[in-house]
Amino acid sequence: MTLPTVLVADDDRSIRTVLTQALGRSGYQVRSTGNAATLWRWVEDGEGDLVITDVVMPDENGLDLIPRIKRIRPDLRVVVMSAQSTLMTAVKAAQRGAFEYLPKPFDLQELLAVVARALAAPAPRAPGPAEPRDADDQMPLIGRSPAMQEVYRTIARLSIADLTVMINGESGTGKELVARALHDYGKRRNGPFVAINMAAIPRELIESELFGHERGAFTGATNRSQGRFEQANGGTLFLDEIGDMPPEAQTRLLRVLQEGEFTSVGGRQPIKANVRIIAATHRDLRNSIRQGLFREDLFYRLNVVPIRLPALRERAEDIPLLARHFLERARDDGLPLKSLDMAAVDKLKQHNWPGNVRELENLMRRLAALCPNDLVGVDSVAAELADAAPPSSQAAAPGTPPDTLATAVERHIREFLAAHDDGMTASDIYDRVIAEVERPLIRLTLAATRGNQIKAASMLGLNRNTLRKKIRDLEIPVVRGLV
Ligand SMILES: Nc1ncnc2c1ncn2[C@@H]1O[C@H](COP(=O)(O)OP(=O)(O)OP(=O)(O)O)[C@@H](O)[C@H]1O
Ligand SMILES: [Mg+2]
C-alpha cells in the first residue's frame, strides 16, 4: 500500500523543515515547496493526497489557489495555515473549500490530528456559497489571541452550516458583535437580522413581542402586530439575554423550535418559522437549570454550537490592538488621534476589565476626548481607570465570591447607619429596613406569578390576607398578567 503523500507549500523554510520531519515521522510522504506555482504544478500532475498551504507566498496567495484546486481535483483536501490570523482569513478559507484552517503558530500535534482527519474524511460536499462582499475592508472583530482564533474558526465553520448557536460570555465581551458576524458571514446574510433582548422587555410582553398578537388579544392590543419571529423570516433571530426569558415564554419557544411553526398571541393560524436562532447570555445557564430558572430541554435545543467568548482579562495580549482600534475609531468620529506610550499599554494590560471590551472602548473614547497630549502616558490612563472604577466595596475582583443577600444587606445597613451618624435621629430603623427587603421580595414574587396573589402567597408561605395587607401597606402596584 502506498503511503499518503502530503504536499506542503510555505515560503518559510523552517516551517517546511518542521512539517517535513513531523509528517515523515508519522509515516507520510512529503513534498515541499516555497512557492505556489510548484504546488499548482504538482496538483495538476495529479500528485499528493493532501495539501497544506500557507496564505502569503511570493508568487500567489494560497487562498486564491483553493478554488482552482477544487475545480480540477474536487476530492483533494486543502489545509490552510496562516500567520494573518484574522476572522476574514478563517472565513475565506472555509468558504473557498479549505478542509481546515490553522492559525500560526500552531501545535504540531494539532496539525497531525488535522492531517489524519483530512485524509480520513468522506468526500467533500459542493463548495460553499459566494463570498461576502468587500471582505477585506471591514474587520468586525479585533484580536489575535488563541481564544479569539478559536472563535473565528467556529464562525468560519458556521459560514457554511446554518446551525443554532449559543454565545456565552461576560458583559461587554462582544456577544452581539459575534451574533452579527455569524449572520453577516452565514448563509442567511441576505435575509434580515432581528434582535430581541429578553432583559429589556417587560416579561408580560415577551411572548407578544416574539410571536406577534392579533387585534384584541389583550387589553391595549388595538391592532394585529407582527412578532420578531415573523420579521426575521428567512434570516436570523438573535435572542439576547436568553437566560432572562420568563418560564412561560421558554415553554412556548421550545414548542416552536420543536414544531417549526408558531401561532401569534390570540391567533389560531400556525405560521411556519423559517429563522436561524442565535442566543446569547452572560449567565451560567447550567446553574440556572439547577435553580429551576431555565428549562433544560430548551437549553439543549439552543446549545447546538456553543461559543464561549473570553473575558478581556483572559486575553490581555489583544489589548494593544483593541486600544489602537478604538482610538482610530474615535479619530474617525472627529476626535484627535491619540496613541499610547508603552507604560500606558502595560497599565491597560494589568487592569482587570470587569466591563470587558466595552469598558476599554469607553476608556479610549474618554482619553481621545479629554487627554491634552497626543501621546497618552501611564498617568492619564491610571487617572481615568481610577475615576471610572465602581466604589471599592462593590468592585468584584476575580475569584471574589458573589454578593450574597446577607452581605448586600449588611453593606446597605452600614451605609444607612453612617448616614444617620449625627446623633441618631432616626426612630424607626427596624421597620424601614424590613420594608426595604419586603418590598422587592413581594413585588418580584408577584411578578413571577404574573400577579396571581394566591400563588404568590403560597410561594412566600404567607396567609393570603396577610399578603394583601402588605401589598396595601407597602404600596406595591398590582398588575395582572396579560395572557
Ligand atoms: N473583538 C472585538 N473587536 C472590536 N470591538 C469589540 C470586540 N468585542 C466587543 N467589541 C465592542 O465592545 C462593545 C461591547 O460589545 P457587545 O455589545 O457585542 O458585548 P456583549 O457581550 O453583547 O455585552 P452585554 O452582555 O453587555 O450585552 C461593542 O461596542 C463592540 O463593538
Ligand atoms: Mg449584548
pLDDT digits (tens, 9 = 90+) for 345-358: 999 999 999 999 99
Position 451 scores a pLDDT of 83
pLDDT at res. 131: 47
Backbone angles phi, psi at 74, to 5 degrees: -60, -25
In this predicted structure, the answer to whether residue 449 has a pLDDT above a threshold of 90 is: no
Closest Cα to atom 9, ligand 1: which residue?
174
Separation of CA 303 from chain center: 13
Instruction: Among 173, 177, 242, 333, say which to mutate for ligand 1: greatest number of ligand atoms within 8 Å of CB.
Output: 177
What is the overall mean pLDDT for the chain?
Answer: 86
Strands (E), 241-283: 261-262, 271-272, 276-281
Centre of ligand 1 from the C-alpha of residue 361, in Å: 9
Beta bridge partners of 61: 56
pLDDT above 50 (res 482): no
Output the CA 338–ligand 1 centroid distance in Å: 22
Q: Which is higher by pLDDT, 250 or 204?
A: 250
Identify the CA nearest to 337 among candidates 320, 325, 319, 349. Answer: 325
Atom of ligand 1 nearest to the CA of 167: 21
How far does residue 166's CA lie from ligand 2's centre (Å)? 13
Spatial contact of 39 and 64, defined as CB atoms under 8 Å apart: no
Give the residues surrounding ligand 1 with Cβ less than 6 Å away: 141-143, 169, 171-177, 282, 357-358, 361
With 90 as the cut, is the pLDDT of residue 74 above it? no
> For ligand 1, what atom is nearest to the CA of residue 179?
18
**Rounded Cα–Cα distance for residues 179 and 176 (Å):** 5
All three cell numbers of 409: 444587606
According to the model, what pLDDT value does residue 161 have? 87
The ligand with the least distance to the CA atom of 170 is: 1
CA distance 256 to 258: 5
Residue 222's pLDDT band (boundaries 50, 70, 90)? confident
**Which one has a higher pLDDT value, 328 or 402?**
328
Under the banding of pLDDT at 50, 70 and 90, the label for residue 404 is low
Residue range 31-55: mean pLDDT, rounded: 94
Specify the pLDDT at position 403.
Answer: 59
Tell me which residue of 324, 329, 351, 326 sits closest to 339, measured CA to CA: 324
Q: What is 305-344 written as a DSSP string?
A: EEEEPPPGGGGGGGHHHHHHHHHHHHHHTTSPP-EE-HHH
In this predicted structure, the answer to whether residue 287 has a pLDDT above a threshold of 60 is yes
Compute, in angstroms, the gap from residue 282 CA to the centroid of ligand 2: 9
Predicted pLDDT of residue 130: 44
The strand pair at 100-103 and 50-54 is best described as unpaired
Is residue 483 very low, low, confident or very high in pLDDT (cuts 50, 70, 90)? very low
